[in-house]
Amino acid sequence: MRHMEITKQKNYQQSFDLACATIKGMNPEERAKKAGADYQKGKDGERIIVHFFSEPYHIQFPQIEFSSPGKKIVSLVTRILLLHYLIRADGNPMAGNWVAYKDIPGGLLYAGVFARRVTEPLQRKFGRSARLFQEVGTKSGGEPAGIGDSSFILKAFPCVPLQYILWEGDDEFPPSAQLLFDTSVDHYLTLEDIVVLGQVTTGRLINRALL
């Protein structure tokens, strides 16, 4: 298990280094505009401020340094997601149509991984308590969506909303949880990043339920 964790960390570090090298060759002002983020230019260089779950993250260029007023440390996974979002964003407007992960182009191939890491843990934790799920969603900044037994929409990035829906289980039917995405999501994140984002968000919701 320890070896797996070290390998995973190494892969994340490589991914981060590659993302840093990629964004250094790009125009920060244009990247901010395409991603719905704020851009500032000052004596100490350029800065992009992008909101990730309503928390402002500052990325300083050209040194690619991260900071956030509410966080002492910006985790490696968060840094990777922020950079990947800024690199991939193409300014495509949101469609207002929701799709499951498997219905995103190419998503069917990783649908099993997505279910194991993202929706099944939610079913196990909240499957018998839609009320708790709604409470946790609201505490996390979610807007009620009025679907299923419990549902809410969270804004992960300015152009990446997430819609969570839960149907409570009973003696006849098992619980069911869904995470839906705007059809424009692949203009902003890769399939792999979408799984990581879903996993991060699921972890946050479950942890918040324990408080």
Judge if the upstream peptide bond of residue 62 is cis by omega within 30 degrees of 0: yes
Query: Which phi and psi angles does 85 have, rounded to 5°?
Result: -65, -45
**What is the rounded average pLDDT of the residues 58-73?**
91
pLDDT above 70 (res 6): no
Band of residue 184 on the pLDDT scale cut at 50, 70, 90: very high
Segment 47-63, tens digit of pLDDT: 999 999 989 999 999 99
CA nearest to 84, candidates 197, 204, 202: 197
Residue type, 148: G
pLDDT digits (tens, 9 = 90+) for 138-165: 999 999 999 999 999 999 999 999 999 9
Check pLDDT > 90 for residue 67: yes
Burial 152-185 (b: 16+ CB within 10 A, else e): bbbbbbbbbbbbbbbbbbeeeeebbbbbbbbbbb
Distance of CA 182 to the CA centre of its chain: 13
More confident residue, 149 or 43: 149
Domain ranges of the chain: 2-88, 98-209
Task: Report, as an integer, the average pLDDT of 166-191.
Answer: 94
pLDDT given for residue 7 in this prediction: 59
Q: What pLDDT band is residue 70 in, cutting at 50, 70 and 90?
A: confident
3-state secondary structure 130-163: HHHHHHHHHHCCCEECCCCCEEEEEEEECCEEEE
% of the chain exceeding 70 in pLDDT? 95
- pLDDT at position 211: 61
